[in-house]
Structure 1
Amino acid sequence: MLLAQRAPRPPARPPLMSQRRLFFVAAGMLIAGETIFWTVLAAVQSNSGVAALDAPVHDRLVASRNPLATAFLAAVTAVTSPLWMTVIGCAVALAWAVWKREVWRPALLIGAMAATFAVSTLIKHDVGRGRPAASDFLLGPDDALSFPSGHTFGAGVFLCVVSYLLVAARGTRTSKQSTSVLAFAAAAAGTLVVAFSRLYLGYHWLTDVLAAMGLALAVTGIVILADALRASMAPRPAPSIRMGRAALPTRPGPAEVRLAEVSLSEPGPSEPDAHRLGDHHRRG
């Protein structure tokens, strides 16, 4: 017997609660990043607060240098320069577009990296802060402005955005949260290593890298917010009905039982009436 089976659930967007949580996470990252940046900027302009730690931290790191740490951190800072991060970001986006055959997430990554470079350049020229003493530089002269750290900003945005996009592409937003936590923890650890390399090599103050980390957090929040908005506006696929052989008979529902009772309670034609109807048809 062929019966209509229950239609399978269509693969759709994340649940509403997960979607709301994603909006709150994005808004929280944006607000936290902006708060960090503006607080550090105010401290730098007034030469108070956390800015009072700039000189002591710089002097302590310069005095604690050793060949092994210098070699490792020099390699880190060379790979994470703004130019290289832009090239790496574009390469990753292109590879993603070819492999996954999609445009949206590669465009998000490229847009984030482009915004990072533009915002960093704009703030540097607007604040106009100088670097520490050139005699403390370990990798040669650098006459660029100091606030914020372009290395830290670019590496933070790249690592955090890629971590989010990988997690979102696997659909982990609706499953265990441990994968998301580990991904962002790894991105944060990588950003801290880059920030420390800029302090250790003598090219930035502590407030430079703190402001850059705040900006990276804010840009990541904007990326997550944009992706969540797009997912929330995606249409849900219409359910379909499949025909197949029923494995077991199903019990009738209340409406079907009432319909059967009504049909049984209605009297049919009596036997004499049935004979008269048959004779009428034969005569006709």
Structure 2
Amino acid sequence: MTLEIIKRSKPKIPWSTKACIIFSIFCLLIGSAIFIVAYISMSKNILLDQYNQPLLSWLVEHRKTQITYALSIVTTFAGSFYLSSLVGAIAIIWALIKREIWRPALLVGAISICPIISSVTKTIVQNTRPDQLNMIQPFELDYSFPSGHTLGIIVLLLVLGYLIISRHTSDFRITVWLIITVALTALIAFSRLYLGYHWLTDVVASIGLGFIILSLAIVADRFFIHIFKN
């Protein structure tokens, strides 16, 4: 019993700068690899691109009214307006309760660059979306690569999780973080595919970009801590 109490009361040690930098490099490498595979697949019509049309066709053929309605709601709330509103609310509450500005500001900054990165990448790549015959209204007519919805949600979950767990870590928190991140990212990505707005390569590219943005956020966080540690 005494050992259990000691184990439960063991202080949650913050991640060291070395551990964070190693994790940042890992995220950068993983994210870059995922994005490159998605881009090559899309541009060369190989690898993942071979599953783009078959997957879309299968999803369209197996649509159910109730599922379509539910996923339409999900994808709406994952849009930039609602996601930005949610992040703004989280940042304000966080700043007021914890009496700090840096972590909430970094979260807002990470989310704010997502639409920029998404728009610039879409303009450069210029990959067309699936045909409107496969889309659920309202139609989306801009370019498809990458998925802005998927990028926004994965950056929110990755960066928010890092900012919390890097200060107060535990195996339980890390496990919960991973489960929530995988589940919600998969849900949003699936909704974009199911509703006919994106190709598989689009959502995969967004996952890669999400890890790259997390890597940059970690570097910015560690730099801030190093400069203002006193």
Counterpart position of 1:223: 217
Task: State whether residues 36 and 214 of structure 1, in contact with CA within 8 Å, keep that contact through their aligned partners in structure 2.
Answer: yes
Counterpart position of 2:7: none
1:202 aligns to what SS in structure 2? coil
CA deviations over 1:9-36 (Å, ceiling 9, x no partner)? xx9x847xx4322221111011111111
Letter in 2 for 1:129: N
Structure 1 or 2, whichever has the larger Rg, is: 1
Counterpart position of 2:5: none
In structure 1, distance between residues paired with 2:162 and 2:194: 29
Task: State whether residues 30 and 221 of structure 1, in contact with CA within 8 Å, keep that contact through their aligned partners in structure 2.
Answer: yes
TM-score, with length taken from structure 1: 0.72
CA deviations over 1:233-254 (Å, ceiling 9, x no partner)? 5546xxxxxxxxxxxxxxxxxx
CA deviations over 1:13-69 (Å, ceiling 9, x no partner)? 847xx4322221111011111111122112211111211110011011111111222
Counterpart position of 1:85: 83
Counterpart position of 1:206: 200
CA deviations over 1:149-199 (Å, ceiling 9, x no partner)? 011001111122122222234x22xxx323113213211211111000000
Matched, 1:178 2:176: no
CA deviations over 1:135-161 (Å, ceiling 9, x no partner)? 111132221211100110011111221
Counterpart position of 2:184: 190
Task: State whether residues 27 and 225 of structure 1, in contact with CA within 8 Å, keep that contact through their aligned partners in structure 2.
Answer: no
TM-score, with length taken from structure 2: 0.88
1:37 aligns to what SS in structure 2? helix
Give structure 1 stretches of 5+ with no counterpart.
1-10, 237-284
Coordinate RMSD, CA, aligned: 1.9
CA deviations over 1:72-107 (Å, ceiling 9, x no partner)? 211110100122212222221122112211111011
Letter in 2 for 1:213: I
Paired residue total: 219
Identity %: 33
1:42 aligns to what SS in structure 2? helix
Counterpart position of 1:241: none
Task: State whether residues 160 and 188 of structure 1, in contact with CA within 8 Å, keep that contact through their aligned partners in structure 2.
Answer: no
Counterpart position of 1:125: 123
Matched, 1:26 2:30: no
